[in-house]
Amino acid sequence: MSFPLWTLPHVPRALVIRQVEPINVIQLSMKSKRLKSFLMIFKLFAYKLSLSFGADQGCSYDYKPPDCIHLSILFNEDDDWNYFERKSEWHFEFFAQNDAEKQLQRLQTQNLCILYDLGSQVLRIQRIQALTNHILDIVYFKKYELGHFIIPGYNSWNNFFLKDQINNFEKVDIDTRRFETWSAVALQDLFDNLRTEELWLKIRVDTPGARFKFNKMTHFHLHECDWLSVEDLIEVDSEWYYLSLIEPMDLMKIVNAWKSGKKLENLFEMTMDFQGKVSADDVLQQIDQFEGVRKDEEYGDDARFFKRDTDGQIAFICVAEQYFEFSLNKIGCTP
């Protein structure tokens, strides 16, 4: 005798459904139109939906184009579950047909579904789109995360089927530098339409020196950012920055922009790797000319503390041949 679920009033029925493992509820909703219709009104709750277009997550050191799509649902916040008992996370993996058996052996768990590609790239995209839309219909998510590591034939933000449904991500990570060149127009479209707390980019742009405008974000990570001008960089409103392949001559422009108090007002920490080597002594000599600069033996000869002109905020910097650190989080940074 089955449980009389559908004889219950709506609210008690929703409470009963939420006592069931959410993974099982989602799977049942794919078979029951009645259950899906009910869940579209009384949605399940989850912490994060992560969608990644990428390569096999196994150990691979050959830089072949990616061959799979990963979709995972985290039902509890990161601190709420034991690392060794990941029962609150559910994965879908889309692989090429000839890799299916290998991946099934490696990834089989109670919370994993593996779906097979029939050889058509378009079909694979249609299937992940249908699956994702189904989940968005019946689950409320607090956060979203996107990793875009390029799939041949599907390599444009303009084709991303969720960009009109999800306009605010916790994190977006785009690493396409080896396989794709972005146009300046397409990249600005990404910046215009994307809202994210944390942006990681490792890309190549067809017109180095093009000007870009960015939305506000908390974390800004640019790997091999030889396409971004320092003038645009100092207009970015962010708190944490990581930058690589920065020209050494741009360093003092960044330091002066922060010191003036007119740019980079919310900057809290910044680290850089330089394109080539920089003379740390030359940079420090320029910084030593600032009013109120001081050394601290605890941090060595390559470090300085100096003040912002507008409010007296003290910053710490450390300069080496190929590395620069800026922080307001060191002992001694209190005005």
Cα 265 → chain centroid:
23
Question: Mean of the pLDDT values across residues 264-285?
Answer: 84
Q: Per residue in 181-226, pLDDT tens?
A: 888 888 888 888 888 899 998 888 988 778 999 888 899 998 888 8
Q: Is the pLDDT of residue 114 over 50?
A: no
pTM of the model: 0.75
Mapping DSSP onto H, E and C, the string for the chain reads: CCCCHHHCCHHHHHHHHCCCCHHHHHHHHCCCHHHHHHHCCCCEEEEEEEEEEECCCCCCCCCCCCCEEEEEEECCCHHHCCCCCCCCEEEEEEECHHHHHHHHHHHCCCCEEEEECCCCHHHHHHHHHHHHHHHHHHEEEEEEEEEECCECCECCHHHCCCCCCCCCEEEEEEECCCCCEECHHHHHHHHHHCCEEEEEEECEECCCCCCCCCCCCCEEEECCCCCCCHHHHCCCCCCEEEEEEECHHHHHHHHHHHHHCCCCCCCCEEEEEECCCCCHHHHHHHHCCCCCCECCHHHCCCEEEEECCCCCCEEEEEECCCEEEEECCCCCCCC
- Domain extent, residue 211, equals 20-279
Inside any domain, residue 319 = no
Question: Mean of the pLDDT values across residues 267-277?
Answer: 84
Inside any domain, residue 71 = yes
Inside any domain, residue 322 = no
- With cut-offs at 50, 70 and 90, classify the pLDDT of residue 49: confident
241 or 298: which carries more pLDDT confidence? 241
Inside any domain, residue 311 = no
Inside any domain, residue 296 = no
Question: Mean of the pLDDT values across residues 228-250?
Answer: 86
Inside any domain, residue 169 = yes
Inside any domain, residue 151 = yes
Closest CA to 331 of 314, 319, 310: 314
Count of domains in the chain?
Answer: 1
Inside any domain, residue 297 = no
Q: Is the pLDDT of residue 89 over 60?
A: no
- With cut-offs at 50, 70 and 90, classify the pLDDT of residue 41: very high
